[in-house]
């Protein structure tokens, strides 16, 4: 049996897990992103098992139908919007997940992005290396308004971080109640008020048809020209061309992003040319602590499947 390990950008798969128990089956690790659907199908045509890292490679019905030899698809985490679980079930492909690992990794990165954008860390690092000393004036966070779009598990942690920095957290999402917001020390406000009052806007929503494009031109232009937008959730929640335009026109002070509508980010993407940005390559879950869970449990999933006793099986209802 041939086993593919996808999107191992950091060449971490063999450092964080022992794959030798899968011998004599062949394990092939792909360090580069495979690309579009045709490239994915061509590369994986000879594999019965595919191990994916989060949502780096999508497996919609149109891909799964073209991989008739696929028997097992493993994803890190217990939720993956890039896999059509209903299609996988119909086609007889078992889909298994892994435990989430550290729940603090994304909130920590989110706060690193806030500080980097507020204090212009990338710009000053670059200037210093180029021989210039002290070229920007950053802004402090104490006393400012932290607007949290989506107060779920990550949003609640982020709101707590905000209070530690003496910020005032406000929050909105479609089903959020005043009681739930108050429980984490945040003030429930309306959607328009959230954008208008934000000094720092943090996005912590799951991507769905309801949230896709939720932050568009109207929302961005409602924000203060001194505000900072931070997205560590999913790229398509924000209208990226409109965000780039708002930055270019000075309608927004800065944006710090870890997620994008297309990943890896194309070299000609407008955000790469937009001013006052901090851009990271979807690092929210990329920590040694998370990989130490993800990769060993991926091996466990494959071994269990080979024994005929699959574990951590995902079903369409799980989404």
Long-range Cβ pairs for the range 308-313 (8 Å, 24+): 310/72, 310/94, 310/96, 311/96, 312/78, 312/96, 312/97, 312/98, 312/99, 313/94, 313/95, 313/96
Of 263, 269, 300, 312, catalytic: 263
Alpha helices in the chain (DSSP H): 13-16, 37-44, 61-64, 85-90, 105-118, 121-129, 153-164, 178-183, 191-197, 217-222, 240-248, 288-306
Of 54, 56, 202, 282, catalytic: 282
DSSP secondary structure letter of residue 266: P
Smallest CA-to-CA distance from 44 within 22, 25, 65, 16 is with 65
In terms of Cβ atoms closer than 10 Å to its own Cβ (0-12, 13-18, 19+), residue 224 is middle
For residue 2, indicate whether it is catalytic.
Answer: no
Neighbours of 269 (CB within 10 A): 17
Of 54, 156, 197, 234, catalytic: 234
Residue 196: alpha-carbon gap to chain centroid:
25
For residue 234, indicate whether it is catalytic.
Answer: yes
What is the rounded CA–CA span in Å between residue 145 and residue 170?
7
What is the rounded CA–CA span in Å between residue 214 and residue 237?
5
Question: Do residues 295 and 272 touch, judged by C-beta distance below 8 A?
Answer: no
Active-site residue list: 234, 263, 282
């Amino acid at each position: 049996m041939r086993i593919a390990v996808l999107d191992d950008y950091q060449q971490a798969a063999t450092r964080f897990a022992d794959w030798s128990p899968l011998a004599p089956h062949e394990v092939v690790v792909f360090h580069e992103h495979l690309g579009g659907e045709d490239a994915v199908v061509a590369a994986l045509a000879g594999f019965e098992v595919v191990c994916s890292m989060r949502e780096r490679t999508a497996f919609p019905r149109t891909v799964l139908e073209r991989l008739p030899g696929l028997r097992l698809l493993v994803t890190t985490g217990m939720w993956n919007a890039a896999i059509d679980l209903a299609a996988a079930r119909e086609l007889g492909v078992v889909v298994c997940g892994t435990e989430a690992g550290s729940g603090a990794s994304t909130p920590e990165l989110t706060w690193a992005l806030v500080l980097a954008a507020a204090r212009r860390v990338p710009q000053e690092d670059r200037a210093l290396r180029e021989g210039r000393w002290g070229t920007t004036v950053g802004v402090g966070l104490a006393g400012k308004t932290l607007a949290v779009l989506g107060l779920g598990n990550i949003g609640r942690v982020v709101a707590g971080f905000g209070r530690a920095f003496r910020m005032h957290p406000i929050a909105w999402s479609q089903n959020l109640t005043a009681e739930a917001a108050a429980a984490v020390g945040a003030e429930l406000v309306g959607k328009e008020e959230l954008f208008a009052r934000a000094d720092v806007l943090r996005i912590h929503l799951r991507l769905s048809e309801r949230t896709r494009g939720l932050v568009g031109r109207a929302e961005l232009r409602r924000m203060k020209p001194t505000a900072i937008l931070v997205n560590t959730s999913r790229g398509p929640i924000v209208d990226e061309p409109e965000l780039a335009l708002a930055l270019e026109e000075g309608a927004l002070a800065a944006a710090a992003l870890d997620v994008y509508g297309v990943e890896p980010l194309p070299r000609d993407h407008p955000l790469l040319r937009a001013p006052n940005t901090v851009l990271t390559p979807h690092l929210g879950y990329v920590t040694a602590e998370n990989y130490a869970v993800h990769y060993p449990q991926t091996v466990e999933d494959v071994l269990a499947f080979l024994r005929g006793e699959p574990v951590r099986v995902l079903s369409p209802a799980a989404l």
